[in-house]
């Protein structure tokens, strides 16, 4: 699998660098897995969190460059620790032993070959809880197909309808790429399935973070998703945008207003969305932003 990194085209940027020979592309990831931490995470959607938490593994680096990223410590500053495929498998089993509802792979795109190897190793050793692929949705269909049969739950963001807004993430073709990627995710995992406690075992949750001044784009995304998928997927309409530093785009230097959020929520309800999660205003507090340091490790 890792020979795919000899001329890396794992993501839509297709940098074609030889990551096995220390060449770095847009994401800056080498051929070695690097993680910023792992723990039982209690702040995902309830059907993902479960009783003891989602077994979340945060991967360093990212194939997007969102100027408002809350995980910038690992996505841009690239803090973390390099680990082997075997160690990643061990971590998955540790999280399962501690009662994790699932294994939640956060920003995994650039490590698909290594993750596939690690998942196979872990499953051979008794990993049985659902696997969550938690992504920006800037994915290649061909790369997602490498994971078919290994992923139970896809948890993609859907960021922009208007490709011009991709300037916030240094990308100009987000909608086309993300819409095709989501189609593949739905094809792979099919309809929603739940366990006896109401936790999601299989299916799709699409997250959308509403950005200040862009509620109309949010409505276009929600309308597109509903027309295509109706209530066969779960929607998570998020209110947690928090400016972390002064940005060049003034509209992003504030939090979302209650009026903006309620407007989008009411729109979603009016067009027929019922299978959805909402967020309270307190989700905008900085205490919800992950801290990537020693106490983040098990």
Confidence of residue 81 (pLDDT cuts 50, 70, 90): very high
Question: 246-261, pLDDT tens digit by residue?
Answer: 889 999 999 999 999 9
* Helix count and strand count (H, E) for the chain: 8, 10
Residue 231 has pLDDT above 80, yes or no: yes
Question: 105-147, pLDDT tens digit by residue?
Answer: 999 999 999 999 999 999 999 999 999 999 999 999 999 999 9
Q: Where are the alpha helices (DSSP H) in 1-81?
A: 46-49, 72-75
Question: 277-296, pLDDT tens digit by residue?
Answer: 998 765 555 445 555 454 44
Residue 168 has pLDDT above 90, yes or no: yes
Residue 297 has pLDDT above 50, yes or no: no
Degrees, nearest 5: CA angle 255-260-264:
125
pLDDT of amino acid 272 = 97
Q: The pTM is what?
A: 0.94
Domain boundaries, the chain: 2-286
Q: State how far the Cα of 68 lies from the Cα of 294, in Å rounded to an integer.
A: 24
Question: 87-99, pLDDT tens digit by residue?
Answer: 999 999 999 999 9
Average pLDDT, stretch 176-180? 98
Q: State how far the Cα of 258 lies from the Cα of 40, in Å rounded to an integer.
A: 30
Q: Where are the alpha helices (DSSP H) in 98-244?
A: 112-124, 141-145, 174-189, 215-229
**What is the CATH number that goes with domain 2-286?**
3.20.20.70
Residue 204 has pLDDT above 70, yes or no: yes
């Amino acid at each position: 699998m890792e020979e795919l990194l000899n001329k890396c085209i794992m993501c839509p940027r297709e940098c074609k660098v030889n990551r096995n020979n220390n060449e770095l592309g847009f994401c800056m990831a080498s051929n070695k897995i690097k993680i910023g931490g792992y723990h039982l995470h209690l702040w995902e959607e309830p059907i993902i969190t479960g009783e003891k938490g989602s077994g979340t593994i945060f991967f360093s680096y990212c194939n997007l460059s969102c100027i408002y990223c809350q995980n910038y410590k690992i996505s841009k500053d690239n803090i973390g620790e390099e680990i082997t495929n075997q160690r990643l498998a061990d971590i998955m089993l540790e999280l399962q032993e501690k009662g994790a509802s699932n294994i939640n792979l956060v920003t995994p795109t650039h490590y698909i070959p290594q993750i596939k190897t690690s998942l196979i190793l872990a499953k051979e050793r008794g990993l049985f809880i659902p696997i969550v692929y938690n992504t920006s949705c800037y994915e290649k269909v061909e790369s997602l197909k490498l994971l078919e049969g290994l992923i139970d739950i896809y948890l993609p963001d859907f960021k922009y309808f208007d490709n011009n807004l991709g300037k916030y993430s240094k990308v100009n073709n987000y909608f086309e790429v993300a819409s095709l990627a989501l189609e593949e995710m739905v094809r792979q995992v099919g309809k929603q399935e739940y366990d006896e406690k109401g936790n999601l075992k299989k299916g799709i949750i699409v997250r959308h973070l509403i950005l200040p001044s862009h509620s109309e784009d949010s409505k276009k995304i929600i309308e597109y998703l509903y027309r295509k998928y109706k209530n066969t997927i779960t929607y998570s309409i998020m209110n947690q945008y928090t400016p972390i530093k002064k940005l060049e785009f003034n509209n992003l230097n504030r939090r979302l207003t209650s009026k903006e959020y309620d407007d989008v929520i009411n729109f979603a309800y009016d067009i027929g969305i019922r299978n959805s999660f909402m967020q309270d205003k307190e989700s905008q507090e900085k205490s919800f932003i992950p801290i990537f340091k020693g106490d983040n490790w098990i």
